[in-house]
Structure formats: C-alpha cells, structure tokens
Structure 1
Amino acid sequence: MTRRLFRGVFIVWVMLRYGLDELFLTSFQKPWLHAIARIVSVGRKLDAPRGQRIREALERLGPIFVKFGQVLSTRRDLMPLDIADELARLQDRVPPFSSDVAIASIERAFNKKVEDIFVSFDREPIASASIAQVHFAVLKNRTGESREVAVKVLRPGMLTAIEKDLSLMRMMAGWVEGLSDDGKRLKPREVVAEFDKYLHDELDLVREASSAAQLRRNMTGLDLVLIPEMFWDYCATEVIVMERMTGIPISQVERLRAAGVDIPKLARDGVTIFFTQVFRDGFFHADMHPGNIQVSVAPATFGRYISLDFGIVGTLTETDKEYLAQNFTAFFRRDYKRVAELHIESGWVPAATRVDELESAIRSVCEPYFDRPLKEISLGLVLMRLFQTSRRFHVEIQPQLVLLQKTLLNIEGLGRQLDPDLDLWATAKPFLEKWMIDQLGPKKLLDQLRNEAPRYAKLLPELPRLLVDFLQRGQSGSDRALGELLAEQKRTNRLLQGLVYGGVGFVLGLVAMQLIVRVRVF
C-alpha cells in the first residue's frame, strides 16, 4: 500500500513538472481547479509544445507508461493530431536486465541447464524493450545439427509492475472522466481497458509465437516477406526460441541502396504485404514500425521483407473485410455517395442521417488529396479530418479497426522513407478491385459450397425420408379434406421446383454479375 502511495505521488509530481495540469485542469469548469492550475504553474518553464511535454512525461514515468503512450497514439479519433504525432515517436528505451536473470528464466521454463539446450548463448542481449529482451544463441537439435536462433526472454516481475500501474491508470481515468465533458469524450476508461488487453497479450510469449506461425503459413507462396520459424520444443510463456533472421534494418535506406535493393519496388511490396494480410487473410502484423522490419540481402531471398516481433496482431471478420474493401474501392473511384451509404448500412451512423449531407462532408475531406504523390499527402491529417467529420455525424468508432488504422499509418511512414513518390492509392487499387471480383465471382461461391459440403452430405440422404414423412403426416389427418391434401402436395411440389430453379438462377446471376463487374473495372 505504501509503495502504491509513493508511486501515485511520483506520477502526480511528474504531471505537474511537465505542465500536464495546464493541459487538463484548466479546461474543467471548476474555480478551485483553475486556482490550483495557476499555483502549480508558478516557476515552471513550459516553452515546449504540449505534445512534446506529454511524451517526455510518459518517458519519465517508465516503460509501462511508454507502452501506454504508444497505444494511445493509435487513437487519433480521441485526441488532437499534434499530440498523436508526438506520442507516435515514443520508443522503448529500456536498459537490459542481467543476463544471469535471463538464463535463470530459460532454465526454469525448460527445466534444463542452458548449456544442455544451446551450443552457445550470447550473454549480451541484441535488443532490449519494455516487455522483453533478445539474445542470440546456437540451438542443439535432435539430429545433432545446430541452428542459429534468437531467444526472447520476458522481463522479470512484469506482471506485478503492470498490475500496479494499471490500477493507478484506472483510478486516474475515473478522475479525468468525472471532472469534465471533455474527459468523457476522450473515453479514458475504454482506452485503459484496451491497453490492458494489449499488454496482457504481449506478456504471453506463446501467444506471440502462435501469431508468428500463423502469419508464416499465410505468407507462404507470396515470396515477399520472411517470418521466423518457431521451435515449439522451446516455447513457453516467459521464453520463446525462434529462427535467427539476418538483414538490413529498413530504416537504413542508403545501405539497402548500396546493396542493390530496388527501393521503389520495396515500397510497393510493403503495400502489397499489408493489403494481402488485411483483405485476403484478415490477420495482420499490427506493429510494423521500422524497428520491427528488416530486408534480406541473402542471395536466395534477396530484397524480401523480414518481419519481427509479433506481440501485437490484428484480426478482421469477413464482414469487416467486405465493408473495408467496398469503402476503399469507393474512395478510389471517388464515389463518396457509396461511402456514405456504407456507413449508414453498417450502422456506424444513425439510420436517420441524410446521405447527401454525409456525402458532402466526406467529399470535402478527401477530394483535395487525390492525384498527389505520397510526399504531398499526410494520411494522418486525412484521417484526423475524417474523425472530426465522424464526430459531427456521431459515427461510432469501431475498436477492431484501431489496429488497422495504426498499421496503415506505419505503412505510410515506411512509404515516405523508401519512396516519397509512391502513390499509396494507385498501388493498392488493383489489389482491392481484384479482391472484390473474387468475392463476387463463381470461385467464391464454389469455395463456400466446398466448405459447406460436409453438412450438405449429411442432410441430402435424409431429404427423401423427411419428404415422405411430411406427405404421410398430411394423408393421416382424418379431419383434412382431400382437396386440402392435394393443395398441400401442390405447394410442396412448387417449393421443390422453386428451390431447383432458384439455385440455377442464383448461379447464373452470379456469373452475370461477375461479367458486369469485370466490364466496369476494366
């Protein structure tokens, strides 16, 4: 209890030191809070922009608050753009913990001495972050061969530290929410709950290994990205062992260019990987900042992306994917009326919303940005204006799309760094239109029928017996007139004929729709 009290006092002191009270308390309509804000502001130098002060305060408060700021930076629907941009600059600058502690964690997880697992183990970590650190090693295997691996070890005592800080965050969120209308609009309780979920997901390294394995399967055959293999005999909640990947960090563009990598192609490949993971698989790497991306220069895999760190992944349902694809396609065609209709059809805006008003608002945001190279477009600014428009029309922000937004902004950043002239929209448009054709065409119908075939196989043999039982029940009714029975049989016959003809018509209609879509697109 005492430690929690001291931690709370320290948090308040840091907030005052960096002038966060000036940003929040002065907006509350309570005179005594205005007085406090004026008193605590005496003697402080608050020349730095507000976003910078918030970022520096979170860095001072430690790794958990840094991670919170990183998550908060994705919620551009909740805060001004300048603060969101500054929070996006937060990096995990955490000193490594002792290699003896890391080795003890490995031995405890696998109940073996580290020398019985590895031929060699680098005591100096190659990377250290708020949640875990990574060591290189050489793994022994059952065939006597050795494999170069990376060993990710969870930082000790993380769960206890996280629970303490989360408890304080929940308490502070309650204060912010109760003190002003602005506080309620920011939804601090929901943001903390979202952060809680992400953080606990990252604390389970088996979950991260499973996500990496799924992405690796999904990307097989694309030949654009490499994802490390997981060694399941040595994966536990606190430790995972994976294939060691070697490449050039994607931020080192000059090194990549000197190695002969086609930089514009690399930029286009990044967009292709993103849209493939999102719209084909509905399962995407949601932490694609430059620190987690390398490029292979090995002869066999030259120029391919290398993805690392799978603690945060995003998922989308078939409904989400279809809605997003239709929205993107409508945006690319500048069909703002269709975008407005999709918002209403999905229930994201009230049903009584006028389509023409929402269409006009969306057009005013998006139209000025088309036909420009990426270097002249700030996707963050477009998103922020869209969110401002969304608030005007009471659009409900969809939680499942927050990670998608974050990842899209990461892609924009990579595109700017690699090829400022990349046209993100033009690169993505053919992919999305092909995806839409696949969703509407006969191939999709055949895939769905194939998936449902086991259920149909069970029901079809029973259909004649069910039909006979139905007719027999009709004949056994002593109180039913013969004419009624014949009418019932005729209705049954018409129903069966309708099912047959309707099925044929449905297939022919899909083929016709496929032809129409192809004509419109091409």
Structure 2
Amino acid sequence: MPSVRRDRADPGPGAGNTRARYRRILRFAAWHLAVTWWFELFLPRIGLGSIAARTRTQRMQRFAQRFRVLAVELGGLMIKVGQFLSSRLDVLPPEITRELEGLQDEVPPVPFPAIRALAEAELGTALDQVFAFVDEVPLAAASLGQAHRGRLLPENAADAGLREVVVKVQRPGIEAIVDVDLAALRKVGGWLSRVRLVSSRADMPALVEEFAQICREEIDYLHEAANAERFAADFAADDRVAVPGVVWEWSTRRVLTLEDVTAIKITDTESLLSAGIDPVQVAPVFASVMFEQLFSNGFFHADPHPGNIFVTPAGGSPAGGSWKLTFIDFGMMGQVPPGTRGGLRKLLIAAAERDGKGLVSAISDVGVLAATADRAELERAMTHLFGRFGGMGFAELREVDPREFLEFAVEFGDLVRSLPFQLPENFLLIIRAMSLTSGMCSALDPRFNIWDAVEPYAARLLREERGNIARDVAQQALDAAGLALGLPRRLDGLLTRIEDGTLSVANPRLERQLARLDRTARRSASALVFGALLIAGAVVRADDVVLGTVLMTVSVLPLLHALSAGRRGR
C-alpha cells in the first residue's frame, strides 16, 4: 500500500466531527491574527495608529467574548487555553482577563450514564460492587473530567482506611479531542513563530509542546495520584497543609478515587467568618505555602484557583481557631529546575530588599531577559519603581494620584515592551501559579500587601544562603587544612625512606628544605583555618550575634599558631 504523507498539524481521521473542530479553531485564530495585524502593524505604518488606539479596548473585549463562546461550545483544551489567558495579568489587558475568568466553572457536565459506563469499563466491575453510593449530580465539572461524591462499601472502606470519597472520571472521548486541539494549537504556534514581534520574545512551538505535555499528564489520573502523594510528602511535617488520600485499589488512568476532603472554599469569606476564621489571616499563609512550593521544593500546584483549595477548620468542624489549607486536583503540577529555582530565590530576595540592580540580575539569571537588553535603563526603572511604590499594597496603590501612577505606568510599560524579553521553557506554569496566588490573596484581603508576605520568607532564604556560604567556606578550608596537616606525615615518611636507604638521596640541604616546607605547611593550615572561622563568623553574625562572635573569637587561636610558627622558622 502506498504511504500517505500527513502534515504534522493535521489531526488525521477521527471520530465524529474532529475535522470540523480543527478547522473551526484555525478559522478563529486566522481571523483574529489578521485583524490584529491590520490594526496593530499595518495602520500605524501608514500613519493611522490613532485609529488602532481608539478601537483597541473594544477589539480586545470582542476577542475575549468570542473566544469565551468558542471555548464553552468546544470544551476540551480550549477551556484550558482560556484559563491560561485569564491568568496572564502580566501581559494581557484587563478587557481580556476579566472576560475569561468565569471559564473556571462554566463547563457543562457529562450525563451520568456516560460517566458510569466509562468508570465501570475502567474498573472492570459495576459501580455498586465498589461503592455503596455515588451521587449522579457532579460535585464539579471540568474541561477534562468531572467529580462525583461517593461512599465505599464497608469491606472496601476497611481496606482503604476511609469511607467518604470523591470519584473523578475522565470525560468520554477526551483523548481524541485533546489530540485535535493540540494539532490546531501547533499550527497556530507555527504561524506566530513567523511574526518577529512574537518570535523575539517566545519560542511558540516550544511553548505549545510544553502546554501539550502538561495537558497529556493531566488526563493521566495515575500520574495525578502520584503527584498528590509527592505533594503530601513535601508537606508531611507542615501542619498548615492537608492533602486527600488516594484509594489506589480503585484508581486507573481514567478513574481516580480520592478521600473526600470538601470543606470551605478559600474565597468564601462569609463561610470563613462564620467558622471563626479571619480571611485576612488566610492570605499570608496561602502566599507562604505557595512560596515554599515555588522557591524551596521546586514542585508546585500550578492550578491554585479557588475551586482547588479549601480551608479546613481543626477537627473538620467550624469551631474557630486553627485550620489548614487543603489542596486538591494535582493534575496540573509544575517543576522548577534547580538552576531556575536559584534565580527565583535571588529574584525574591532582591524584591524584598528593594534592590533594583539585584532584581534585574535575577531576571537575567532566570532567562527572561535577553543578553542584548539595556540592563542599565531597566535597573534605573526598577529603582524608581521600588523607591516610589515598593512598599505599597494593592489598596494603597489605588490611593496614589492617578496621574502620577499613569505617568509612571506609561513610561515603565514603554520601557518593558522595548526590551528583548523572552519567555523560557518551564515558565508557563510558574507564571500561572504566581498570577493566581496574587489574585487569590487580594480576594481574601483587599489591603493585602505582597511585600508583607515576601519579606519574612525572603529573610529566611537569605539566612539559608548565608549559612550555605559559611558552610562552603568552612568545608573548603577544612579540606585544605586536612591536606596541609597530612603533608608533614607524608614528609616524615619520605625522610624515613631517605634514612633507611630505600631512597638513595643523601643531601643535608634537601633535609633543611623539607623541614622548612613542613613548617610552611603547618603555618598555611593555621592561616586557612583562621580565615575560614573569621569569614564564617562575619557572615553568621548578621543573623546570630552570639555564634558569629564565638567563631570570630576562636579564629584568633590558629592565627597565633601561624604567627608563632613563622617566628620559629626564622
């Protein structure tokens, strides 16, 4: 049979109307890219940029509204694309992000008979052979699957160690839909990669592939279950965080059975207050837990929207006092490579210290700022930003004279757009997590000040960094000292061999030189230990005065030894 050549973006044959779906996505993208080119590139070139500026807000709103309609009608990954766009508060205008926010909870559910059929095929048995009860009304309906409350049969509950569960079932046929949507997104990414303004800032095909990997992992529920257990292990010693248990016996790639941990939705301020929990106190704890994931663990929840986080009162009952943050839905998780994590830690410390130059350096280390960027100009702008607005929370920023804020925003925005920024890989989820964290904290506390949350965490990171430096210096010094202190024994062995005649050398001058080398080695070892103790003491003293002073005082002993050894040598 002759082979059939197929374009990489062609979805190929599939069930139902997959080709119609593919063509509809491409028509939508092509039309809006053409409109954007006409207004944002062509009209300014012929001196009609004012027309584009006047109609920009309305065009953005129309685009967001039409995309929302498309996403709701098609479902699948279009919902995910809309969710990503709604969280890009850093680059997209509010006309788009506000319109797309509601996509989180707007997916129509799949009828229960279809869900039952898929679940029974996956589990290999009837649902009533596993569960005493499964609620046919979904607890939540998402773009890739939906969740139903259930109760395990007594014998299964005894094996699992829990009774009340949530059964998460994949939407029937979702894998074929994901394939079609990814094919369309790859085609659109290829179009965007030919636009210099886009390609200079992001490798669109690489970003699409990163998005594809995220989505494929999200529809593998065994992968989600493993993520939940890894997340639980990261916070096993942290009493601020809870994670649902996994019922592995009744979980597959398309069906996931979890402990039911439903509690108060994190943004339900009325219920929080009724339970005696102050939402203002929840915000900094949530921010700190997210910082811990991003900057310390390197493994983070990348979809922390309000539906995925509960506030659970102590003992599971609203009695006020202590509470926990309960995370659910671990299908979309991110990992921060060690190199990127170091840059992010540096960025956080620089932001807390209002260090504009350090912040620019960290941005460059992370890979967001291209090497050709005018760093001096960006440093000046960052210093100005910190000097004027650095300590303000969101509520305080609203009280700034709008003219002053607008003037700076225009100047700073023009500078940022002129710089050769780029979006490195592994950053889609980091940006999403940070954007959602900021928005959630503001919803909990309108006067939430991000600096109040950043500063204590950054101070801890700074202490850890200093401790690492001190340990590294001390270890290097001890290694060198060990080598130097071992040298006399090796020299003694050499002298013994000379005396025994096993080494035929008879030269008194050589013996004097060896003795001098012995003294020099001992003196060098003492000097190294002195330097290590002095530097370590100076670094540690900034955070622990007593320990730092002790280390600096003890450093005098090896210094005296080095000086006395030098005098004896003379």
TM > 0.5 between the two?
A: yes
Distance verdict in 2 for CA 1:27–1:146, change over 3 Å: closer
Deviation at 1:104, TM superposition (A): 3.4
RMSD: 4.4
**Where does structure 1 lack aligned partners over 5 or more consecutive residues?**
31-44, 450-455
2:64 — aligned with what? 51
Deviation at 1:388, TM superposition (A): 6.2
Give the AA of the match of 2:20.
Answer: F
Deviation at 1:386, TM superposition (A): 7.3
Q: 2:229 aligns with which of 201, 204, 213?
A: 213
- Residue 424 in structure 1 maps to residue 438 in structure 2: no
Q: 2:24 aligns with which of 1, 7, 10?
A: 10
Q: Are 1:20 and 1:54, in contact at CA under 8 Å, matched by a contact in 2?
A: no
Distance verdict in 2 for CA 1:365–1:400, change over 3 Å: farther
Give the AA of the match of 1:327.
Answer: L
- Residue 244 in structure 1 maps to residue 257 in structure 2: no
Provide the rounded CA distance (Å) in 2 between the counterparts of 1:63 and 1:9: 15
Provide the rounded CA distance (Å) in 2 between the counterparts of 1:196 and 1:208: 16
* Aligned pairs for 1:111-150 within 5 A: 111-139=124-152, 140-142=156-158, 147-150=163-166
Q: Are 1:442 and 1:510, in contact at CA under 8 Å, matched by a contact in 2?
A: no
- Residue 231 in structure 1 maps to residue 244 in structure 2: no
Deviation at 1:401, TM superposition (A): 3.7
| Corresponding residue pairs, total | 487
- Residue 322 in structure 1 maps to residue 342 in structure 2: yes
* Aligned pairs for 1:123-522 within 5 A: 123-139=136-152, 140-142=156-158, 147-178=163-194, 180-185=195-200, 187-297=203-313, 299=315, 302-344=322-364, 349=369, 356-377=376-397, 389-441=415-467, 445=471, 502=528, 505-506=531-532, 509-516=535-542
Q: Are 2:140 and 2:147, in contact at CA under 8 Å, matched by a contact in 1?
A: yes
2:108 — aligned with what? 95
Distance verdict in 2 for CA 1:406–1:489, change over 3 Å: farther
Provide the rounded CA distance (Å) in 1 between the counterparts of 2:441 and 2:120: 42
Deviation by residue 1:304-350 (Cα, 9 ceiling, x = unmatched): 22211111122224433332233222222222122234445666546
Give the AA of the match of 2:190.
Answer: G
Deviation by residue 1:210-269 (Cα, 9 ceiling, x = unmatched): 111122122233222221111222332111111101312223211221222122111222
Deviation by residue 1:74-104 (Cα, 9 ceiling, x = unmatched): 5566655643454444325222223333333
Provide the rounded CA distance (Å) in 2 between the counterparts of 1:433 and 1:406: 25
Q: Tell me, what secondary structure is at the counterpart of 1:359? A: helix
Provide the rounded CA distance (Å) in 1 between the counterparts of 2:185 and 2:34: 16
Q: Are 1:295 and 1:305, in contact at CA under 8 Å, matched by a contact in 2?
A: yes
Provide the rounded CA distance (Å) in 2 between the counterparts of 1:351 and 1:398: 13
Q: 2:81 aligns with which of 47, 51, 68?
A: 68
Provide the rounded CA distance (Å) in 1 between the counterparts of 2:519 and 2:119: 70
Identity fraction in percent? 25
Provide the rounded CA distance (Å) in 1 between the counterparts of 2:519 and 2:429: 52
Q: Are 2:134 and 2:151, in contact at CA under 8 Å, matched by a contact in 1?
A: yes
Provide the rounded CA distance (Å) in 1 between the counterparts of 2:378 and 2:505: 58
Greater mean deviation of Cα atoms: 431-440 or 5-14: 5-14
Provide the rounded CA distance (Å) in 1 between the counterparts of 2:369 and 2:161: 60
Distance verdict in 2 for CA 1:364–1:94, change over 3 Å: same
Distance verdict in 2 for CA 1:106–1:295, change over 3 Å: same
**Where does structure 2 lack aligned partners over 5 or more consecutive residues?**
1-11, 44-57, 399-405, 546-570
Deviation at 1:412, TM superposition (A): 1.9
Deviation at 1:204, TM superposition (A): 1.1
Distance verdict in 2 for CA 1:19–1:403, change over 3 Å: closer
Provide the rounded CA distance (Å) in 2 between the counterparts of 1:103 and 1:430: 49
Q: Tell me, what secondary structure is at the counterpart of 1:119? A: strand
Provide the rounded CA distance (Å) in 2 between the counterparts of 1:398 and 1:47: 26
Greater mean deviation of Cα atoms: 341-350 or 506-515: 341-350
- Rg (Cα) greater in structure: 2
Q: Tell me, what secondary structure is at the counterpart of 1:152? A: strand
Deviation at 1:127, TM superposition (A): 1.2
Distance verdict in 2 for CA 1:25–1:175, change over 3 Å: farther
Distance verdict in 2 for CA 1:137–1:367, change over 3 Å: same
